[in-house]
């Protein structure tokens, strides 16, 4: 059985050719085993495991969401281990904050702007606001602007040519330019690859 980091690398490599942002997969793979990463799994044909949030079972296998590293906002740590379920059958989304937890360095930042359409009350911005955000971001040469996978939102990425030393996730998040004001104004979520 592969380890968690081997399974993630294999999963993304296999999907690179058909992904709408292969360069984002390349960016992730460049630092893969060191990046703060979230893996969300789909329930598929399984059912929730009592007392284990984000965990499912079909009576044979048990699969669950993964977060690398543990304790990211304080003293991050992670010990790679064998994945005991068919990862490629259950992984639904893999994302990263851009923080290299192993080297305590911010590698990139991401912003996720969601459209109001298709989201819960209080989440997202109007089409006019998305258009203004897109226009403003496209005027900045070091910001990459992309449509979300569903096509109704925006993902903005800032890739750093040289990393910025950051001791933990909290410091990385605090470095996001204007993060507090932007989060409040536009109802942002911390971005991830989708």
pLDDT, position 157: 87
CA distance 58 to 48: 9
Residues 140 and 160 occupy one common structural domain: yes
Which candidate, 24, 161, 47, 159, places its Cα nearest to that of 93? 24
CB count, 10 Å around CB of 146? 17
- Structural domain tally of the chain? 2
Domain boundary among 97, 120, 146: 97
The range of the structural domain enclosing residue 135 comes to 105-190
| DSSP secondary structure letter of residue 82 | B
CA 111 to chain centre: 10
Residue 129 has pLDDT above 60, yes or no: yes
Same structural domain, 13 and 85: yes
Q: Answer yes or no: do 89 and 113 share one domain.
A: no
Which one is predicted more confidently, 191 or 130? 130
56 and 30 within one domain: yes
111 and 140 fall within a common domain: yes
pLDDT value at residue 105: 93
The pLDDT value given to residue 117? 53
Domain end among 46, 64, 97:
97
pLDDT tens digits, one per residue of 131-143: 888 888 888 888 8
Looking at the fold, whether 47 and 23 belong to one and the same domain comes out as yes
Q: What is the CA radius of gyration of the chain?
A: 17
Same domain, 93 and 53: yes
Query: DSSP 3-state assignment of 72?
Result: coil
Say whether both 70 and 110 belong to one domain: no
pLDDT beyond 50 at 63 = yes
Residues 62 and 137 placed together within one structural domain of the fold: no
Residue, of 44 and 184, whose pLDDT is higher: 44
Segment 26-51 mean pLDDT = 93
pLDDT of amino acid 128 = 83
Q: How confident is the model at residue 191 (pLDDT cuts 50, 70, 90)?
A: very low
């Amino acid at each position: 059985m592969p380890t968690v980091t081997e399974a993630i690398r294999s999963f993304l490599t296999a999907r690179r050719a058909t992904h709408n942002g292969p360069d984002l997969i390349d960016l992730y793979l460049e630092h893969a085993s060191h990046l703060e990463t979230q893996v969300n799994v789909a329930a598929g044909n399984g059912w929730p495991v009592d007392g284990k949030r984000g965990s499912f079972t079909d009576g044979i296998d048990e699969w669950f969401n993964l977060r690398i590293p543990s304790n990211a906002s304080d003293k991050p740590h992670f010990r790679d281990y064998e994945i005991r379920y068919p990862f490629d059958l259950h992984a639904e989304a893999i994302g990263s904050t851009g923080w290299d937890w192993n080297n305590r360095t911010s590698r990139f930042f991401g912003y996720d702007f969601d459209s109001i359409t298709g989201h819960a009350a209080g989440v997202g911005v109007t089409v006019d606001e998305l258009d203004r955000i897109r226009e403003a971001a496209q005027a900045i040469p070091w910001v990459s602007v992309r449509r979300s996978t569903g096509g109704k939102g925006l993902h903005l990425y800032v890739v750093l040519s040289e990393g910025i030393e950051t001791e933990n996730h909290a410091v990385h998040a605090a470095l996001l330019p204007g993060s507090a004001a932007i989060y409040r104004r536009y109802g942002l979520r911390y971005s991830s690859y989708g």
